[in-house]
Structure formats: structure tokens, C-alpha cells
Chains A and B, each alone.
Chain A
């Protein structure tokens, strides 16, 4: 068990590699109750959110969601999150555990008059069912009572008189569902999913596998790959930024970067020979020059080589560029790769 954003959470159940493989080939379930839930509603909610978030909330029909960023005045990342439109004027925001208080305070300090904005993180539990057999489990669970939401859509289901939000989203690159329900249903839901999932070889999964799965997909981890002094443009995530919107916090800085070009880019790399797994904060070299530090790193259970990400100066941030990672005083060769590192995931965007 480790402390994660103030929560005591398991790194693993049966083993990181075993859990990782379960999600890639069958099914895994993660407890994501640490994540935060904010609700925004009212006639001013849309315009208010659009002034705070980088993606365009106007594009969401009821029942749809989008990945987006909350930025500071300099265009740096406060948090990356998903905003779900759950009603005409109702939005659910799912934010990172370690950022709940900061996000809420920031958003509250910019609150518009005709918006009701609530932090209900403590009231909600979350479970993520991920893996190619997720749809089969959904069908077995609901027996036709509800039809599966499409990718990036959310369903409101009622189970034993309680509301469950079930979204076709995830952080693994595989098909899957993220389920949010009132906290006192968490244990029952967890047990129900494990019981029903047994025929699909489901395994409970911890934070360790969550990290290896997301890194193979090059999904950023806030606090490691996304920081208050890095922007979504530098992170290569500008498809989640709508610079056509009239305004949002951080827009000026991003527009300037867009125009002038960025000095560094977040790129994935792969080690090219047997070596210790790269980890965050290792030095990255080009020739004799230290050019960056890794922001994430691990051994990829799928590719069976060390992988990671780093903000590399633009001149070297090219696919197939050879770099070196320094691990305990020794440098090992690596190559810059295309995103994602794992291309066979069953999540279709």
C-alpha cells in the first residue's frame, strides 16, 4: 500500500505484470475512488467552463465527454480532467486526486454568478473496468436493461435505487468503463464486478499496472508529465485545446507558443538494449550534452523493454532520434518513438 494523493492505495494485487497482462488480454478492475468529482450546473455553466477549460465544451451533446485541461495564467497545467455533459445544463468533472483542493479553489475563485458548483469528491466512489472483454461484462451485468454507451459517452443507470454514472472512458488504451457511484455502494460494486467478471478472467488491479498501462499509451500523468510550467502544446496534446474559442485562462500563452513554436516537446522513448528500467528524473543525453530529464519511465510489460517520456528540445524531438538515458552513472541508448508505444489497444477514439 502506498500514499497516493492522500489515499492509501494498493500498488498491486497479484503482481504488476500479471495485472497489466490481464487488462491487455482480458479484463481488470481498478479502484479509482481517489479521483475527484465536481458538479457544475445552471444556465451559466457552459460559458463558465469554456472560460476555464482548453477544450470546447460547446461540442458536447448531452451524454458526451471530452478530455481537457485546466490551466494557470501562464498556460501551465493545473490539472488534466474529463468533463462529462450529464444534462442540458449539468456537467460532471472528474479530476486527479492530488489536485482536488487546488482545482476546486481555482475554479471557485473564478466562479460565475449563475452556476452552482459543488465538490462531491468525498461522496463518490469510482471503479474502472478495463480490457477487451469490458463490453461482454457490461452485457452480462445489465442483461439488456441498458445499452452500452459509445466511446466517450456516459450513461446514467439506476441500480437498486441509486444512480450510477457509467462512462466509456479509461486510462489504459483498452476498451472499458469508468463507473462512479455513491461511496457506500463501492464495496458492493467492486465485489459484484469481480464476481460477474470471473467468467471473463477479471483481475483486481492496482496503481502499478495503472501506470505501466497508461505509459505504454503515452497518456500523461499529472504531476510527472504535466506540470505548472509545461503547457498542453509542449506536451503534444493540442488536439484538446481549442484556440478558436474567444477566451480561456492560459489561452494567450498557448496562442503565442502556437505561433512561435515550442522549445521542447514531450516525446516517448524506448530503450534499445537490456538495461535497468528508466524512471522519472533520469538525465537524458544527446552526445555529451544533458538535454532533458525523464518525466516518466518503467519497464513495458507488453513490449518488454524500458520506456519513458521526456520534454526534449525541439531540434532533437524527432521520431527515430537516438538519445541516451543515464541510469546510476551509466548511459544507455534509447530511441525516440511515435505515440502511442503500444498500438494494439482496443480503445477506439
Chain B
């Protein structure tokens, strides 16, 4: 499973890419593989205020609906409208075109509580009993 080095991770399988006070959020390669074919995404509303750990979007696969949580507190700046037309972008490009929303980061210190790539790799490795994904 692909766990890029330049991102930070939430235990609930979201990633965040920070660029100054702006963060881009999506779900991990491991999460998309577990979910199976994504067929619908309920996007967050632009302007919504969220706190870290708050449910903010829903990703639906054929198999199940999964809540997506904001890894950090802030204000939603943008939602990826391309997912409305093509929700499978989450499967095909989870760290690129499959991003879900952008957020203006409020409390910078929360970033310290997120997982490093190594820590996240350990988390998903532990679940599957092997070092490298499922």
C-alpha cells in the first residue's frame, strides 16, 4: 500500500497535505482498497467550520457507507466537485485527483497529533499482520 512520505495521517485513514495554513485532505490508498469501488461522495459544504475528528463527508462504496473525519480544525475552503461526477477518482488516484476537500487550518498545534507516514504504516501493517499493507 502506498503511504507517501510528504503527508500526515489520521488514525481514521485520512491524509492531509499542508501548504502553509492550507491543507488538502483525502483518504489513504489503504482506505480506498478496503472500501472497494467508490460510487458516491457526499462532499462538505464550503465555509463549514469543523473541529478535528468531526465527521465532515461520506464516501460510499458498493459495500458500505463510510464517514470521513476532518483530521484538523478549520474552515472548509473548497470541495472536490469532480468527485460528484467521478467518485472512482478516490480509487484510482487517492492522493491526487481523488482529494476530497481543502481546509484553512486554525490550530497549528493539532498537526503534531497526526501520524507520520511511518506511524500510519505501522497502524495498517498491524491490522493486516504484515509490514506492507494488506
Please give the residue numbers on chain A whose beta carbons come within 8 Å of chain B beta carbons, in ascending order.
Answer: 11-12, 15-18, 208, 212, 275-277, 279, 298-299, 301, 328
List the 7 closest A-B pairs by CB distance, nearest first.
Answer: A16-B62, A276-B40, A17-B37, A299-B39, A276-B60, A16-B36, A299-B62
**With A208-B62, A277-B62, A301-B62 known to touch, is A12 a contact of B36 (CB < 8 Å)?**
yes
Report B-chain residues with C-beta under 8 Å of the C-beta of A301: 62
Ordered by A's residue number, 30 sampled pairs between the chains whose C-beta atoms are within 8 Å are A11-B36, A11-B63, A12-B36, A12-B63, A15-B36, A15-B37, A16-B36, A16-B37, A16-B62, A17-B37, A18-B37, A208-B36, A208-B62, A208-B63, A275-B40, A276-B40, A276-B42, A276-B58, A276-B60, A276-B65, A277-B39, A277-B62, A277-B65, A298-B62, A299-B39, A299-B40, A299-B60, A301-B62, A328-B42, A328-B58
Q: By the criterion of a CB under 8 Å from any partner CB, how many residues of chain B are at the interface?
A: 12
Report A-chain residues with C-beta under 8 Å of the C-beta of B65: 276-277, 279, 328
- A-B Cβ contacts below 8 A, count: 40
Question: Of all chain A residues, which has the CB nearest B64?
Answer: A279
* Distance between Cα atoms of A209 and B36 in the complex (Å): 11
Report A-chain residues with C-beta under 8 Å of the C-beta of B58: 276, 328
Please give the residue numbers on chain B whose beta carbons come within 8 Å of chain A beta carbons, in ascending order.
Answer: 36-37, 39-40, 42, 58, 60-65
* Distance between Cα atoms of A89 and B64 in the complex (Å): 45
* Distance between Cα atoms of A208 and B65 in the complex (Å): 14
Question: Of all chain B residues, which has the CB nearest A2?
Answer: B63
Chain B nearest Cβ from A181, distance in angstroms: 29
Given contacts A277-B65, A299-B62, A328-B58, 7 further A-B pairs with CB under 8 A are A12-B63, A15-B37, A276-B58, A276-B65, A279-B64, A299-B39, A299-B60
Question: Of all chain A residues, which has the CB nearest B39?
Answer: A299
Question: Of all chain A residues, which has the CB nearest B41?
Answer: A276
Chain B nearest Cβ from A213, distance in angstroms: 11
Chain A nearest Cβ from B86, distance in angstroms: 12
Report A-chain residues with C-beta under 8 Å of the C-beta of B39: 277, 299
Chain B nearest Cβ from A225, distance in angstroms: 18
Chain A nearest Cβ from B83, distance in angstroms: 12
Question: Of all chain A residues, which has the CB nearest B61?
Answer: A16
Report B-chain residues with C-beta under 8 Å of the C-beta of A12: 36, 63
- Which of B37, B64, B65 is packed against the most chain A CB atoms within 10 Å? B37
Question: Of all chain A residues, which has the CB nearest B34?
Answer: A11
* Distance between Cα atoms of A277 and B62 in the complex (Å): 8
Report A-chain residues with C-beta under 8 Å of the C-beta of B37: 15-18
Docked-complex contact B40 and A277, CB < 8 angstroms: yes
Question: Of all chain A residues, which has the CB nearest B134?
Answer: A1
* Distance between Cα atoms of A152 and B58 in the complex (Å): 43
* Distance between Cα atoms of A328 and B39 in the complex (Å): 16
Report B-chain residues with C-beta under 8 Å of the C-beta of A15: 36-37
Chain B nearest Cβ from A164, distance in angstroms: 32
* Distance between Cα atoms of A11 and B63 in the complex (Å): 8
- Which of B39, B63, B65 is packed against the most chain A CB atoms within 10 Å? B63
